[in-house]
A and B are shown apart, each in its own frame.
Chain A
Amino acid sequence: DAGITQSPRYKITETGRQVTLMCHQTWSHSYMFWYRQDLGHGLRLIYYSAAADITDKGEVPDGYVVSRSKTENFPLTLESATRSQTSVYFCASSELGLTNTGELFFGEGSRLTVL
């Protein structure tokens, strides 16, 4: 089915471990985004990508690494997880950035707990 999928949906890990959250979209959208959602903060942009091999930092990039070797995939890696990275992570895509309506298409989210 067409859409945007995230995996895993739930992950528990320990401080210091490396974790990779996967994001895959089937629309061939140029733009992809990673957000984190924390209580009281709304969504905050971690990284975004305008096309394959082009990535840029968002508001809260520290502690995260991204890559985009293929248009459809945009993995997010926490190289050494910390408790402050416990959050719900959302991947999103868009054909033309914010487009004419500002619509981003979101995945269902990945809930990460760092112990």
Chain B
Amino acid sequence: DQQVKQNSPSLSVQEGRISILNCDYTNSMFDYFLWYKKYPAEGPTFLISISSIKDKNEDGRFTVFLNKSAKHLSLHIVPSQPGDSAVYFCAASEGLDSNYQLIWGAGTKLIIKP
């Protein structure tokens, strides 16, 4: 039973447009959420995070939105660039001192078309 779900295995977006990656979770105890980005043959790298006390966190072109009532978060990339083509993982935890058990989604492969 997957507690963190990324229902779109892949997403194709035109360069310059907005990319929206979605993530749903089932565990109401999750209160910290993260997005990681992964290029082929590399390890994941941290992108952005959000605490459940917020509903939005922004870092440059990347914004994460959290809808606690819907148990849904999304990552917006504006504008999308070719270097954004990667696999994006959503992850969640029951707090920063939760025995470090991040629960990960299966990932969404983002393809930015020139």
Chain A residues within 8 Å of B, Cβ to Cβ? 4, 31, 33, 39-45, 48, 56, 58-59, 90, 92, 94, 97-109
Contacts and interface: CB of A to CB of B under 8 A. Distances in A.
A97 B100 contact: yes
B43 A108 contact: yes
A104 to B, nearest CB: 7
B4 interface: yes
Instruction: From B32, B89, B93, B101, name the one whose CB has the most chain A CB atoms within 10 angstroms.
Output: B101
18 contacts: A31-B100, A42-B6, A42-B105, A42-B106, A43-B91, A92-B43, A97-B100, A98-B93, A98-B97, A99-B96, A100-B96, A101-B49, A103-B46, A106-B43, A106-B44, A108-B43, A109-B41, A109-B42
Contacts of B93: 98, 102
Nearest to B5: A42
Contacts, number: 70
Given A40-B106, A102-B96, A108-B41, A45 B46 contact: no
B100 A108 contact: no
Interface residues of B, number: 25
B34 interface: yes
Contacts of B105: 42
Contacts of A44: 104
Contact of A42 (B42, B97, B107): B107
B97 A43 contact: no
B34 A106 contact: no
A90 B89 CA distance: 14
A42 B7 CA distance: 12
A111 to B, nearest CB: 9
Contacts of A103: 34, 46, 49
